[in-house]
C-alpha cells in the first residue's frame, strides 16, 4: 500500500487530538478529584457510583428518621417524668390532708394546690412537637385536654401508634398513647376536689392508693419508652457504621489517587511533546519552501 504525505499528516493530527483528549481527561480528574466526570469516561464506575450513592442516601435518610424518633421519645419521657413529679407532690399533699388535726379550711388550701397540679398535668398532656400533640395517637391535631376537659370521644385513633422506618424493613413506634391513663389521673383529681371538704381523714387517705397506682402506670409506660430508646441507640450505631462503609465504597469507586493521576498527567505531557516533535519531522518541506 502506498503511503502518502496526506496519510501521514492525518495520522499525526489524529494522534495529537487523542493526546490532547487524554491531557484534558487527566486535568479534569485532578481538578475535580473524581475518576469520571461524564458517563462516557467509564460506564461501569458510573453505574456502581449510582448504586453506592443510592445506598448512602438511604442510610442518611434513616439517620434523619432516627433523629426524629429520638426527639419524640425523649420529649415523651421527659414529659412523663414531669407528670410523675407532679403526682409525687400530690401524694405529699394528700398525706398532709389525711391528718385528723387539719381544719376544713386548711384542707381546702391544700386542695387549691392540688387543682393547680391538675392543670399543670393537663398542660403537660397537651405537649406538642412542632404542631403535633404527642399523646393523641394518630389524631395529632387534637389535644388530649381542651379547656380543662378530656377530649371526647376517645376513639381508636387515640390509641394508634405512629411508626417510622429506621432501617430497611424495620419500623419503630415513636409515640406513646397513655390517653386513658391521663384521663384516669384527671378524674382522680376531680374526685379529690369534690371530696376534700366532705370526707374524713381516713376516707381521704384512700386517694393515696389511687395516686400510687397511677404513678406505677407512669413508670411502666416510661419503661416501655426506655426499651424503645435503647433499640433506637442500637440502630443509630448500626447506621453510623453503614454510613462509613457506604462512604468508603463510594470514595474507592469514584475518587482518584492523586499521586497516580499526577504521574499519568506528567507522562502524557511527555508523550504529547514527543508526538509534536515527531510530527514536525513527518511534515516534509514542500516546493513552496524551496522557492522562498
pLDDT tens per residue across span 227-247: 999 999 999 999 999 888 888
Per-residue model confidence (pLDDT) at position 153: 85
In a domain, 156, yes or no: yes
Question: The domain that contains 98 carries what CATH number?
Answer: 1.20.1330.10
CB 76 within 8 A of CB 176: yes
C-alpha distances out from residue 240 to 48, 61, 109, 272, Å: 21, 12, 55, 47
| CB half-sphere exposure, 218, CA atoms < 13 A | 25
Look at residue 253 and give its three-state secondary structure.
helix
Per-residue model confidence (pLDDT) at position 283: 62
Secondary structure letter of residue 41 according to DSSP: G
C-alpha distances out from residue 249 to 49, 53, 254, 272, Å: 9, 9, 9, 34
pLDDT tens, residue by residue, 242-262 = 888 888 887 777 777 777 777
In a domain, 278, yes or no: no
Q: 129 pairs with which residues across the strands? A: 132
In a domain, 198, yes or no: yes
In a domain, 161, yes or no: yes
Per-residue model confidence (pLDDT) at position 175: 95
Domain count, the chain: 1
Q: Which domain holds residue 238?
A: 50-251
In a domain, 4, yes or no: no
CB 193 within 8 A of CB 115: yes
Alpha helices for 98-255 (secondary structure H): 104-125, 179-195, 201-204, 206-254
Per-residue model confidence (pLDDT) at position 3: 57
Per-residue model confidence (pLDDT) at position 223: 96
Distance from C-alpha of 9 to C-alpha of 36, rounded to nearest angstrom:
32
Look at residue 67 and give its three-state secondary structure.
helix
In a domain, 281, yes or no: no
Q: Which residues of the chain have pLDDT under 70?
A: 1-9, 12, 15-16, 19-20, 24, 29, 40-42, 265, 272, 275, 278-292
Task: Quickly tell me which residue has 416501655 as its cell.
Answer: 224
CB 210 within 8 A of CB 218: no
Per-residue model confidence (pLDDT) at position 1: 58
Per-residue model confidence (pLDDT) at position 229: 95
In a domain, 10, yes or no: no
Per-residue model confidence (pLDDT) at position 266: 75
Amino acid at each position: 500500500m502506498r503511503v502518502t504525505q496526506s496519510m501521514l499528516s492525518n495520522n499525526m493530527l489524529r494522534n495529537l487530538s487523542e493526546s490532547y483528549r487524554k491531557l484534558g481527561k487527566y486535568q479534569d480528574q485532578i481538578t475535580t478529584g473524581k475518576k469520571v466526570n461524564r458517563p462516557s469516561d467509564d460506564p461501569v464506575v458510573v453505574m456502581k457510583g449510582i448504586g453506592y450513592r443510592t445506598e448512602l442516601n438511604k442510610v442518611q435518610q434513616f439517620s434523619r428518621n432516627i433523629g426524629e424518633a429520638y426527639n419524640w421519645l425523649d420529649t415523651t419521657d421527659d414529659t412523663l417524668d414531669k407528670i410523675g413529679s407532679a403526682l409525687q407532690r400530690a401524694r405529699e399533699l394528700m398525706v398532709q390532708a389525711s391528718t385528723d388535726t387539719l381544719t376544713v379550711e386548711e384542707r381546702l388550701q391544700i386542695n387549691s394546690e392540688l387543682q393547680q397540679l391538675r392543670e399543670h398535668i393537663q398542660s403537660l398532656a397537651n405537649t406538642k412537637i412542632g404542631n403535633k400533640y404527642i399523646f393523641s395517637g394518630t389524631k395529632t391535631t387534637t389535644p388530649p385536654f381542651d379547656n380543662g376537659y378530656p377530649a371526647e370521644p376517645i376513639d381508636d385513633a387515640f390509641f394508634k401508634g405512629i411508626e417510622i422506618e429506621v432501617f430497611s424493613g424495620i419500623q419503630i413506634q415513636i409515640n406513646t398513647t397513655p390517653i386513658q391513663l391521663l384521663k384516669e389521673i384527671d378524674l382522680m383529681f376531680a374526685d379529690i376536689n369534690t371530696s376534700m371538704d366532705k370526707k374524713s381523714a381516713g376516707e381521704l387517705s384512700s386517694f393515696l392508693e389511687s395516686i400510687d397506682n397511677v404513678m406505677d402506670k407512669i413508670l411502666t409506660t416510661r419503661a416501655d419508652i426506655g426499651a424503645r430508646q435503647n433499640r433506637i441507640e442500637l440502630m443509630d450505631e448500626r447506621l453510623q457504621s453503614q454510613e462509613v462503609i457506604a462512604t468508603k465504597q463510594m470514595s474507592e469507586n469514584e475518587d482518584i489517587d492523586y499521586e497516580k493521576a499526577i504521574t499519568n498527567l506528567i507522562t502524557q505531557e511527555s508523550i504529547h511533546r514527543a508526538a509534536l516533535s515527531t510530527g514536525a519531522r513527518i511534515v516534509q518541506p514542500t516546493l513552496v519552501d524551496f522557492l522562498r
